[in-house]
Amino acid sequence: MPSQKVLEAKQQEVAALADRLGKSVAGVLVDYKGINVADDTALRKELREAGIEYAVSKNTLLNLAVKGTSLEGLSDVLKGTTAVATSESDHVAAARILNKFAGTHPNFTIKSGFLDGEVIDAAKVESLAKLPSKEQLIATLAATLNEPVAMFARALQAVVDKGDAAPAAAE
Distance in angstroms (rounded) separating the CA atoms of residues 37 and 117: 32
> Residue 7: its pLDDT value, please?
86
Phi-psi region of 48 (alpha: psi -120 to 50; beta: other; left: phi over 0): alpha
Write the DSSP symbol of residue 157.
H
Homologous superfamily of the 4-131 domain (CATH) = Ribosomal protein L10, N-terminal RNA-binding domain (3.30.70.1730)
Residue 160 · residue 154 · CB < 8 Å: no
Residue 6, SS3 per DSSP: helix
- Residue percentage of the chain with pLDDT more than 90: 27
Distance in angstroms (rounded) separating the CA atoms of residues 66 and 19: 10
pLDDT < 70 regions, the chain: 1, 164-171
> Residue 33: its pLDDT value, please?
86
> Residue 167: its pLDDT value, please?
55
> Residue 100: its pLDDT value, please?
92
